[in-house]
Amino acid sequence: MDKVEFGALIPFARLADVPQFARKVEQLGYDYLACGEHVMFRGPITNSLICLSVAAGATERIKLMSSVVLLPLYQPVLLAKLTSVLDVASGGRYHMGVGVGGEFPDEFAACGVPVRERGARANEALELIRRLWTEDCVSFEGRYNRTTGITLAPKPAQKPHPPIWVAGRKEAAMRRAALYGDGWLPYMYTPAMVRQSIETIAEFRAARGRSMTDFRVGLFIFVCIMANRDEARAQAIQTLSRNYGQDFSKLVDKYVLYGTADDCRRRLEEFVNAGARTVIFAWACHPKAVEENLVRLAEAVIPAFR
């Protein structure tokens, strides 16, 4: 079995102490420090490129993942430049997770991007960004982007380029991952969904003559680990319902890792057996309990998969 890697998400409530949190995650032996983003949301929200840049200066070894960049909201040439510089500045540690968003339409309106175009824009952006990362004198004629003879320097430190992780839940995202990605990062998934998505992505890649050999399967999962299973479940429902403006009471049992360390180990094993090899933990606990959850996972759950 391939090595199972683990990452921890920078919580929105900890923006003022990103360096401290990043160092803690690295010291605990996590493989990734991850950060999500929105332009605007239901409360204070971060930007992954800014926070990971701060984290890069506070750490030495841990990989840095956007989970995820809201790709349709960026001009692709500018995003290629920003991520190239971040990869160089971090010593080749940046991983670009991408998603198309859409769950908060106001930010698309604010950025002048039609929500209905987000998938097509993302696909075109990935094609252009990969070329800008790896080629000189790039000319590109697309529906949304046109370039003539553009060369970006410096190029990313990682060769041929930083890994691209495609997030999502539906078949369009799986196709995007198969065509443009180096990894798949589904969210709000069950083990059965992980297994089925791997089969679908493998079919898409095979149609293009590409294998799954160098393709990595991940999982972005909310977690709440406590001494009492029922209390963990209640806290996860309360936290996620508040953060996402919807009732999670009917979703928590399917999509959230919660309960005691033993509960979380058993459930996580199902995802690993289904094929997940990079697990990014996001927080379904009270903000004040994030660090305790971070430590419990590192000490009582992750070692079972090393």
| List of domains in the chain | 5-305 (3.20.20.30)
CA angle 165, 167, 169 (to 5 degrees): 150
Q: What digits encode the pLDDT tens for the residues 136-185?
A: 999 999 999 999 999 999 999 999 999 999 999 999 999 999 999 999 99
| Strand ranges for 42-163 from DSSP E | 63-70, 94-99, 138-141, 146-150
What pLDDT is recorded for position 1? 65
Distance CA 256, CA 260 (A): 13
- Give me the pLDDT at residue 15, please: 75
List Cβ<8 Å contacts ≥24 apart for 243-250: 243/42, 243/43, 244/42, 245/42
Give the residue numbers marked as catalytic: 38, 103
Residue-wise pLDDT for 95-116, tens only, equals 999 999 988 999 999 999 999 9
| Tens digits of residue pLDDT in 1-51 | 689 999 999 997 667 899 999 999 999 999 999 999 999 888 888 999 999
User: What average pLDDT is seen over the chain?
Assistant: 96
In this prediction, what percent of the chain has a pLDDT beyond 90? 93
What does the buried/exposed string (b/e) look like for 67-95 if buried means 16 or more CB atoms within 10 Å of the residue's CB? bbbbbbbbebbebbbebbbbbebbeebbb
* DSSP β-bridge partners for residue 287: none
Give the mean pLDDT of 245-261: 96
Residue 52 vs residue 16, higher pLDDT: 52
The reported pTM is 0.96
> What pLDDT is stored for residue 31 in this prediction?
98
Residue with the two structure tokens 């041929």: 160
